[in-house]
Amino acid sequence: MCLINHTTTMAKISFYLTDQSKKETTLFCLINYGLYSIDNGKKKYLPLKYYTDIDMHPELWNKDLNRAKESNRWANPETFDISVEAVKESAKKNYNEINDKIETFEKTAKDLIKTLSENGNVPSHDKLRNDLDKVYKPSKVIASNEPEETPKEFIPFIEFFIKTVTRKENTIKSYNTLKNNLIEYQKVNKLKLTFEKIDIDFYNSFVEYLTSLHLAKNTIGTRIKILKTFMNEAYERGINVPLDYKKKSFKKPNEETFSIYLTESELKLMYNKSGLPAYLERVRDVFLIGCYTGLRFSDLSKLTKENITTDNTIKIKTIKTDKWIEVPIHPFVREIFIKYNYQLPKIPTNQKFNDYVKLVAKRAEIKELITLERSKGDFIIGQSIEKHELVTSHTARRSFATNAFLADMPSISIMKITGHKTELAFMRYIKMTSKDNAIKMKSHKFFNPMLIAK
């Protein structure tokens, strides 16, 4: 086979769905710009395959036009309860933004091909891909370049690590927060931190400093965990660092966080609540599926009819653990599936979902007063808050585990679904109150002597 740099022609760019089986996927494209090979005397064009970051719902993709379909389903959920015009306006704005992204990509790619073409010859795939990456994936280009020499000083090393490491955006933010804490610590104590100074004495001083900022204990714990990450990275790269960070005394401070579950009666209040706006009703229904399946938020978003088995169970491969789990279908779950014709509504972002499910719980009058106590610096702060304010997407999973446990379902069976590896970890997850525990114990034979006598 002979590769030919052919005279450039007008580039043709076609877009395709990366994974049609998902509710949301990205687009990739084939860029045909004149590069071809000669194989057994026949010309074979060689388009460049390039993955974009443009998100698309498969059912809203028009493959013939290579564009997003005009559909009111693009509208933001909040607009469905405002007016028809609001829905249309929101939908038009959203699918136009998607199509503008596609058109901009096309123009950018064609401009690059034109610029890269010299004397009528077309650029190689590697060259075109690299230039597209510079525009659309700059972090990838930085990572692929020759690495800079790793700094040996403490703060410069942290800055270098943050700049070059591949992590999620929120993780990078937390790294930068700790870096800023360390820089401020230097100013307050009028010193320059070096690796040699990161010992157990520094640990005690730094924890004291973070406490003075009135940070919660678990927040301080997160800072220490990241610091240990930085130290371990330096150690792995051959930098001479004290090994105090590996000692048990160099521990991550923590305290048990307060979280709630919803009782069976509270879940029924939500289930039977009528008159909800459509967008809240959809969130309520998806939330209840979580309460009766124990699935994580990330798994709920990909649940389809194909996950329902002939044995009346839901079978799904979880995203976090990459393992298959199977859970019986509760009657409420079956009714919700039927309600939506086995096509569950699109789930908003986790943050919006949490905001909406709090509103649902409030409208269902879940307003038991909960007293919270948490540390803030050297102080213990108490606060009473209505229960609906504490409901989040994760409350569904805790509600499933706790209600199943209170109903005397074997722990090992529940753990098969929740994924807890030890009963100790599982019992920490259960959120029953002392009253729940007392009611559960009332049915035990120890508190029923007459049952023992019989």
- Which domains are seen in the chain, by residue range? 2-144 (no CATH), 154-246 (1.10.150), 264-445 (1.10.443.10)
Pair 147, 164: CB distance under 8 Å = yes
Pairwise CA distance, residues 251 & 82, whole Å: 52
Task: Give pLDDT, residue 3.
Answer: 45
Residue 434's pLDDT is 65
Residue entry with tokens 């919700």: 336
- Write down the pLDDT at residue 142: 56
* Tokens of residue 403, six digits: 């209600």
Tokens found for residue 102: 């596609």
The rounded radius of gyration (Å) of the Cα atoms in the chain is 28
Of 279, 218, 261, 255, nearest in space to 394 by CA: 261
Which structure tokens are listed for 8? 């450039």
Below-50 pLDDT ranges, the chain: 1-8, 377-379, 453-454
Nearest CA-CA partner of 312 in 291, 288, 295, 331: 331
CA angle at 69 for the pair 66 and 75, rounded to the nearest 5°: 140
Classified as helix, coil or strand, 452 is helix
Residue showing tokens 């997850």 = 429
* pLDDT tens-place string over residues 344-380: 888 888 889 999 999 999 999 998 888 765 555 444 5
Task: Give the pLDDT of residue 2.
Answer: 45
> Using CA atoms, how far apart are residues 191 and 52, in angstroms rounded to an integer?
47
For position 109, what pLDDT does the model report?
A: 92
Is residue 410 within 8 A of residue 416, CB to CB? The reply is: no
**40 Cβ neighbours under 8 A, 6+ residues apart:** none
Alpha carbons 416 and 435: distance in angstroms, whole number: 27
Give residue 365's region: left, alpha or beta (phi > 0; psi -120 to 50).
left
E strand or H helix at 88: helix 84-116
Residue with tokens 């309520």: 284
Q: Report pLDDT for 166.
A: 75
Return the pLDDT at 256: 58
Q: How far apart are CA 49 and CA 89, in angstroms?
A: 34
Closest CA to 407 of 428, 435, 432, 370: 432
**CA 419, CA 421: separation in Å to the nearest integer?**
6
The pLDDT value given to residue 6:
47
What are the b/e assignments for 4-39, b being 16+ CB within 10 Å? ebbebeebebebebeeeeebebebbbebbbbbbeee
Q: How long, in residues, is the chain? A: 454
CA proximity to 230, closest of 193, 205, 278? 193
SS3 assignment, position 45: strand
Residues near 364 by Cβ (< 8 Å), separated by ≥ 6? Answer: 266, 269, 270, 273, 388
What average pLDDT does the structure give for the chain?
85
How far does the chain reach from its first CA to its final CA, in angstroms? 89
Q: Do residues 391 and 260 make contact, with C-beta atoms less than 8 angstroms apart?
A: yes
Could you tell me the pTM of the whole model? 0.51
Beta bridge partners of 14: 30
